[in-house]
Amino acid sequence: MRRPGPPSRTTTAVRPTPADTGAPAPRPLEIRGQLRRPLALTVAQLRERWPRHRAEVVFDCATNGPQRHTFEGVLLRDVLDAAGPAFDASRRKDRSRYLLAVSGGDGHHAVLSWAEIDADFGDAPVLLATAMDGRPLDTAGSQLVVPSDRCGARYISAITGIWVGTCAPPGQPK
């Protein structure tokens, strides 16, 4: 299977979408861990507070085969920057020790490294999606979108939480 090219990294003018009017909105996504300003955000707040980006992606799903979707959302790094990670931003090695654990409402979890999303390292345009294929995700909850992944395992739906922090190096007490 041919890997899709990188998504556009420019912010496109995306018309605001109204919240859908189905079931009650999910509880806010909580961003916590080694942060100066933990956050609790709804999909609408994500959409309103940060520039929006669009990613057209293709990923392999183990159960359904190739999936093609267009996601709109905000960059994960922009949201986490607002939460104020407790590292020294001027020290690259300090930033490279941080992990991100993302949890979904269906029990799925994924781990990323800060270095994957950091502009000095991987610079991956990982999104917290607020819309999928033109449909707002206000009721379903935000979705983690990793455009560079060929496999869909890290596309976490209905995100309930993101933890940011370090873990003890091997051989050291936790």
- Report the mean per-residue pLDDT for the chain: 86
d(CA 161, CA 142): 10
Lowest mean pLDDT among 20-24, 41-45, 46-50, 150-154: 20-24
Query: From CA 133, how far away is CA 2, in angstroms rounded?
Result: 21
Strand partners, 70: 56
Side chain identity, residue 72: E
Q: Residue 37 has which token pair? A: 């300003």
Domain extent listing, the chain: 35-165
Task: Summarize pLDDT for 161-173 with one digit per residue, the tens.
Answer: 999 999 877 877 6
Selecting from 3.90.420.10, 3.30.70.20, 3.90.1640.30, 3.30.465.10, what CATH number does the domain 35-165 have?
3.90.420.10
Predicted local confidence at residue 139, as pLDDT:
94
CB atoms within 10 A of CB 142: 32
pLDDT digits (tens, 9 = 90+) for 33-83: 999 999 999 999 999 999 999 999 998 888 888 989 999 999 999 999 999
